[in-house]
Structure 1
Amino acid sequence: MSCTVCKRFKETADKSSVMYKGCSTFRIGTLQSHATNKAHLKCIDRDWEQNPCDEGPMVDAVRQCLLERKEKIMKLFNTAYYVAQKEKPFVEYQHLLDLQKKNGLDIPKHYTSDNACRRFIPFIFETLKKPQLQNIQNARVISVLADGSTDKSTVEQELVYVRYILDGEPVSQFLSIEEVNNGNAQGILQSIEGAFDRYNLMDWKDKLVGFGSDGAAVMIGCRNGVAALLKADIPWLIPIHCVAHRLELAVLRAIQDNEMFKKVKDVLIHIYKQYHFSPKQLREIKLIAAAMDHSMPKPSNLDGARWMPHHHKALKILLASYKPLVAHFEHIVQGRTTTADGIGRANSVLQLLRNYKGVYFCHFLSDVLEVLSILSQQYQKDDLTLSMALQCTENALLSLIALQHRPGEYVQRFLESVNQDGKFEGVELQHYDVNNHFHDIKAAIIDSVRAHISSRMDDIDKGHILQHAKVLDPAEWPLVMDRQQLATFGDHEIESLCDHFNGLLQNLGCDVNQLRYHEWIDLKNYLLRIQARHQGMKVVWKELFSVHKDRFPNILILVEIILVLPLSTSVCERGFSFMKRVKSDWRASLTTEMLRRLLFIAIEGPSLHAFDASLSFDMWLTGGKRRRRYVYGEAESSSDSENDS
C-alpha cells in the first residue's frame, strides 16, 4: 500500500515515509499519520493545482454537505455569542439549544455542552477584537482611561479603555482588564502597560496625549502618581480628573454643611430605614396610599457610587408620596404602635414635612439637583469633548442663577398647590408665609455650588493648556470680529498648543509653520463661512476629517489631539457594572483571561443581528490544535475544557 499522490510528486514528497516506500500493513493509524504529514499536504496542493476538480455531481454533493454542516455549526456560534453578549452563564447554552430543538430547528448533536460554548468564546473574541486593534494601530493619537476595582473573587482589577478618532468622531472603547499585582502607582502602571503589550501595541506611548482617571491620589498624584510616571516619559501628556467626579465632589462640598440640607438628609435616611427594614410598615403605607389613590414607590437609599442621582431620586420619591407619608407618620405617633425611638423618628420627620420652610426647601433642593443631575448625565456621555463640556457647564451655571431670581419647576408647582389657608395636599403647614421665598438660603446654596463648581473646573477655564484649546471651538469666539481681528484671533493660543505638543507633532510629520501661518487662517475663515457655531462642532469636525482632510492636513492633527482628551471616565464605571454582572457570586471562578473576553463581547460586541458567525467559524475550523472533522462530528472531551465556569 502506498500514496499515489506522493509518488507523483517525488521532489516534494517525504521519501522516508512508509506510505511513500510502500507498506503491507493496513492500519488506520498509519493512514491518519500520513494524512497530516506536511509533505503529503503539499503534494495534495500541487495535485489540486494541476488537476482541479471543482465540477461534477460528486463535487457539488460534497460542497452542499459541507455548506449545510457549516450552517448548523454557525447556529451554535450564534447561540454562544448570545450567551456571552447577554452576560449569561455557560450552562444557559445547553438550555438555549434545547429550546431551539423544541422549536423545530436542526441543531447538531455535537458541540452542545457548556464546555463547547466556553471553547467557542476565544474564537468569537479574536474575530471581534482584530478590527479594534487595527483601528488603534492606525490612530495617530490616543488617550488612556483607567480605573480600578475588586471583583467577586477579591482580585484587584484595572479596567483600561482607549480613546481615539474613528470615522471622524471620538470613541472610547474597552481594551482590557488586568490583574493588579501591587496597588501603588508602579503596579497600576505595569497593569496598563501589560494591556497594550498583550495585543502587541508597542508604540502606544509615542502617540499618547491624555490620561483620564477618577482623581484618586495614586492616579493623578503630581509626584508619584500614575500620571506623573507617564509624564516622565511623555512630556506633552495631559492628565485629566474626570469632570463627572469633580461635579460630585463640588456639589457635596458646597451643601453638606448647610443646616437645612442636613435636616432633609436625616429625614430621607429615616424614611428609607423605616420602610426598608420593616415589611409591616411598608405594607401599611401602601394601604394608606391606595386609600388616598396615590402611588407609593419604595423609598430609595442615599448611598451609592453617585451621590447626586441617589439624593435626587430619594427627594423626588418624598415629594411624590408626601401625603401618604405624613398620614402614616401621624398614625405612628398617635397610635403609639412602635418603640419610643420609632415615635421619636416619626416626630422628627413630621417636624420637617409639616413646616412651610422645610417643604419649600425640599422643592427648591429638587430644582437644584435637577439642574445638576442633567449636567452630570451630560458629563457621562462617551463622546464628551472639551467644547461640549464647557457649553453644558455654562448652561448649568446660568440655570442655577435663574433659580435665585425666579421659582424653579418644583417650587412653582409647590406654590401653586398651597392654598390661602397654608395647606399643601390637605396638610396644614406651620409658619406659613406666602411672601417669604427664603432668598438668603437660596442665594447661599447657589452661590456656594457655583463657586465650588468653578474652582473644580479651573484647569479647563483658565491657567491650563486646555484653556488654549477652547480657541478651536467657534462657540467661544467673539460674536463680532472685523477683518483685522479675525486675522490675528487665536494666534497666541495656537502657538501655545503647538509648543506644548511640539515633540508629538514632529513625530507625526506635522508642518507646524504651515499650520500656524496658513491652515489656521484658512480654518477660521471656513468655520465662519459655514456658520459652524450654529451647526455643532461634532458635525463640523466629522465633515472636516472625512471631506477636507487634504485641505487641512496639519491643523487636523491638532484638532484630533484635543478631541481625544478624556474629560470623563464614566465609561470605566459602566465597565465595572458589566464586570459585576459577568463575574457574579455564582461565577466567581472565572479567570481574568475569560473575564477579559466576555467583557469585550458584552461591551463592544455588535448586536446579535449584526454578528457574523462565519468569521469565527473559519477561525475555529483552522485554529485548533488538531484538524476539525466537523462534517462527521467530533466527540467532546472534558480534558479540552478550560478551567472556567
Structure 2
Amino acid sequence: MDAIKHVKTVNTLETNVKGIYKYYHGSPKRRREIKAVANIIDTDLANIPDVKEVRWLASQSKGLLALKSNLGVIVMHLSEAATRTDIYAGAAKNYLNNLKNANMLKTMFLLLDILDILANLSKFFQTENLLVVEVAPEVEASLLKLLALKTHPGPNMKEFLELYDPHEKQFGDIKLIGICNPVDFSVDVTTREMISSVVDYIEKRFAVFNESPLKEFTVFDFMKWPTNREELSTYGIETLADHFSSLFSAEEREKKFE
C-alpha cells in the first residue's frame, strides 16, 4: 500500500472497503437485509472481510474480491438505505456514490490485477529451500507483468471493460454517476501512475539483490554461465575470491586459479 498511498482514488477505495465492512459487520439488521436482497435476485453473497494493517495484501485482495462479487447486491441495498431518515443514511449514500463512480470502479478492477501479481510474488517467497539466485529473475518477471498492465489489461480489467459503457453511463446493471470517460490506456494517468509507483517501490525494495554481497551469488546461477568453455573454466572465481579475500592468506589468494 505504501507504493500507491499517494493515489487519491486508491485511498478512497480502501476507506470505502473498510467502511462497507463496518457498515454491515456492525449491524445484524443490515446483514439480514442484504442477505434478503441477495436471495431475491438469486445471488450468492460473499463475506466482506476487514482490511487489516497486518497481512494487508491478503486482506485487501479478499476485501476487493468480495466487493466485486457483491457489487450489484450492495448497490441495490445501499440505494434503498440511502433514502431512509436514520443516522446511517448519509454513510450509505456516500458508499453508494463511490461504488457508482466509474473511476473508482476502474481503480478497483486494476488494483485486483496488481494484487494478483503481487500475491503470486509473495507466495514465491514462501517457497521452501528458496535460493538467493532465484529471487532476481522472479522479481523481474513480476515487474514485466505489472508493466504489461499499462497497455494490455489483465483479467479483472478486461471484465471491467466488458461491463463498462461510458456513453450510456452504465456498468452492467448499475447506473453510474459523475464523469464517465472512455478508457484509453495510452493517456490514462491513474493507471500508469499506479503501476509505475508499484514497479518503482518493488525495484527499490529488492535493489539489495543487485548489490554486494548478494549479487555475488549470481555465479551459482547456471543460466548466466558463459557458453564459451575457456570463459566458463574460470567464471566466478575472481568474484568469489575478491569477496572472501579476508578469509584467505596472501599465498592462498595467489593460488585462486589453481
Q: What's the TM-score once normalised by structure 1's chain length?
A: 0.37
Q: CA deviation at 1:332?
A: 0.5
Which among 63, 68, 81 is matched to residue 319 of structure 1?
Answer: 68
Larger-Rg structure: 1
1:347, CA displacement in angstroms? 1.9
1:273 is aligned with what amino acid?
A: K
Aligned residue number for residue 180 of structure 2 = 432
Residue of structure 2 in register with 1:266 after alignment = 15
Match of 2:97 among 333, 351, 355: 351
Deviation at 1:418, TM superposition (A): 2.7
Q: How does 1:629-640 map to 2 (within 5 A)?
A: none
Amino acid at match of 1:376: S
Q: 1:380 aligns with which of 111, 126, 151?
A: 126
Cα deviation for residue 474 of structure 1 reads 1.8
Give 1:309 deviation, angstroms: 0.9
* 1:490 is aligned to 2:230: no
Q: Which amino acid aligns with 1:320?
A: S
Aligned partners of 2:50 and 2:81: how far apart in 1? 22
Letter in 2 for 1:369: L
Superposed CA deviations along residues 103-149 of structure 1, whole A, max 9, x for unmatched, are xxxxxxxxxxxxxxxxxxxxxxxxxxxxxxxxxxxxxxxxxxxxxxx
Q: Relative contact order (C-alpha < 8 Å, sep 6+): which is higher?
A: 1
Matched to 1:473, the amino acid is: D
Matches of residues 470-485 of structure 1 in structure 2 within 5 Å? 470-477=218-225, 481-485=227-231
- Give the deviation of 1:284 after TM superposition: 0.7
> What is the Cα deviation at residue 484 of structure 1?
4.4
Equivalent residue number for residue 297 of structure 1: 46
Aligned to 1:468: 216
Q: CA shift at 1:392, angstroms?
A: 1.8
Distance in 1 (alpha carbons) for counterparts of 2:113 and 2:17: 17
1:475 CA drift (Å): 2.8
CA deviation after TM superposition for structure 1 residue 473, in Å:
0.8
Match of 2:200 in 1: 451
Which runs of 5 or more residues in structure 2 are unaligned?
A: none
1:452 positional shift: 1.6
Instruction: Say what the alpha-carbon RMSD is for the aligned residues.
Output: 2.3
CA separation of 1:426 and 1:307: change in aligned 2, threshold 3 A: same
Superposition deviation, residue 488 in structure 1: 4.2
CA contact (8 A) 1:275 1:282 kept: yes
Name the SS of the counterpart of 1:302 in structure 2: coil
Letter in 2 for 1:324: V
Q: Is the CA contact (8 Å cut-off) linking 2:225 and 2:232 kept in structure 1?
A: no
Quote the residue 1:32 is aligned against: none
| Equivalences for residues 345-424 of structure 1 within 5 A | 345-419=91-165, 421-424=168-171
1:477-556 pair list within 5 angstroms: 477=225, 481-499=227-245, 502=247, 516-517=256-257
Bigger fraction of residues in strand: 1
Question: Which secondary structure state, in structure 1, belongs to the residue aligned with residue 162 of structure 2?
Answer: helix
TM-score computed with the length of structure 2 as normaliser = 0.89
One-letter amino acid of the counterpart of residue 447, structure 1: S
**Cα separation, partners in 2 of 1:496 and 1:279, compared to 1, 3 Å:** farther
Give the 3 Å change call, closer, same or farther, for CA 374–282 of structure 1 in structure 2: same
Kept in 2, the 8 Å contact 1:375–1:392? The answer is: yes
Query: CA 1:498–1:429 in structure 2 vs 1: closer, same or farther (change >3 Å)?
Result: same
1:615-634 equivalences in 2 (<5 Å): none
CA positional deviation for 1:482: 3.2
| CA offsets 1:431-471 (integer angstroms, 9 cap, x no match) | 22334446211221222211121112122122x21111111
Instruction: Map 1:551-562; keep pairs closer than 5 Å.
Output: none
Tell me how far 1:345 sits from its aligned partner: 1.7
SS at match of 2:47: coil
Shift of 1:296: 1.1
Aligned to 2:22, the other structure's residue is in SS state: helix
Letter in 2 for 1:303: K
- Alignment CA distance shift 1:296-1:417 (3 Å): same
| CA separation of 1:284 and 1:477: change in aligned 2, threshold 3 A | farther
Q: What's the CA shift for 1:253?
A: 1.9
The structure 1 segments of at least 4 consecutive aligned residues displaced by more than 6 Å after TM superposition are: 511-514
Alpha-carbon separation, structure 2, partners of 1:293 and 1:274: 23
SS at match of 1:255: coil
- Which residue among 79, 94, 98 is the counterpart of 1:330? 79
Instruction: For 1:441 and 1:466, locate their aligned partners in 2 and report how far apart those are by CA, in whole Å.
Output: 35
Distance 2:26 2:44 in 1: 20
TM-superposed deviation, 1:497 = 4.2
Size of the alignment, in residue pairs?
A: 253
Deviation by residue 1:559-609 (Cα, 9 ceiling, x = unmatched): xxxxxxxxxxxxxxxxxxxxxxxxxxxxxxxxxxxxxxxxxxxxxxxxxxx
Q: Identity of counterpart residues, as a percentage?
A: 25
